[in-house]
Chain A
Amino acid sequence: DAKTTQPTSMDCAEGRAANLPCNHSTISGNEYVYWYRQIHSQGPQYIIHGLKNNETNEMASLIITEDRKSSTLILPHATLRDTAVYYCIVRVAQGGSEKLVFGKGTKLTVNP
């Protein structure tokens, strides 16, 4: 089973920041938090991941609480193309290869 809980859906105005929360209260000390998104009828796309520290890349920022029990994905200036299902995933190590267990995700709709 997925180890994360996310809101089912969120709306965001184009050009504004989209803040997507995720709870992972049972995360282990060596498990990473990953974010992927899936635009309709496409394969999932990697966004960002982190362990303890906040992370930023060209797509997004990831804020992880100090106790690591929750995190927030931030899309700083959402565009219509960011409309997608966003999955927060705690990576389960499996014999040297990673195993992603997807939860239900958050459907983000960016409105004009």
Chain B
Amino acid sequence: DAMVIQNPRYQVTQFGKPVTLSCSQTLNHNVMYWYQQKSSQAPKLLFHYYDKDFNNEADTPDNFQSRRPNTSFCFLDIRSPGLGDAAMYLCATSSPRGGWDSEQFFGPGTRLTVL
């Protein structure tokens, strides 16, 4: 089945140690998103790629970076994780070419713990 895959599902890192989360999709969607969801809060958009064009949200800290080497893969890099970055990180995709009102498909998320 076509889907959005996130690896790993659980990631533990140390304070200040760079970490990379990965997302892949078999939907061939041209838009990929990264959301951060802290405990008991709603998901919050960090940034998204429209094809190769990167779109950062104004309040996303510089500590968060992203790479999209091809259509299928997108990475979230946290350069120096702090305790406040512990959260669930959600990847999503959509295909506006399929229609202006197309839905987003979410992966299962990666839960990041910072020690």
Residues on A lying within 8 angstroms of B by beta carbon are 2, 32, 34, 41-46, 49, 51, 87, 91, 94-105
Contacts and interface: CB of A to CB of B under 8 A. Distances in A.
B31 A97 contact: yes
Contacts, number: 58
Given A43-B109, A96-B96, A105-B42, A32 B104 contact: no
Contacts of A45: 106
Q: Is chain B's binding surface mostly helix, strand, loop or mixed?
A: strand
A45 B92 CA distance: 10
Nearest to B91: A43
Contacts of B92: 43-44
Contacts of B101: 32, 49, 51, 91, 98
A101 B46 CA distance: 11
Interface string B3-23: 010000000000000000000
Q: Is chain A's binding surface mostly helix, strand, loop or mixed?
A: loop
A42 B109 contact: yes
B109 A97 contact: no
Contacts of A87: 42
Interface centre among A91, A94, A95, A98 (most CB of B within 10 A): A98
A103 B106 contact: no
29 contacts: A2-B42, A41-B109, A42-B108, A43-B4, A43-B92, A43-B106, A43-B108, A43-B109, A44-B92, A44-B106, A45-B106, A46-B103, A46-B104, A49-B101, A51-B101, A87-B42, A91-B101, A94-B55, A96-B50, A96-B96, A97-B48, A97-B50, A97-B96, A98-B94, A98-B104, A100-B43, A100-B45, A102-B42, A103-B42
Contact of A100 (B55, B104, B107): B104
B102 A98 contact: yes
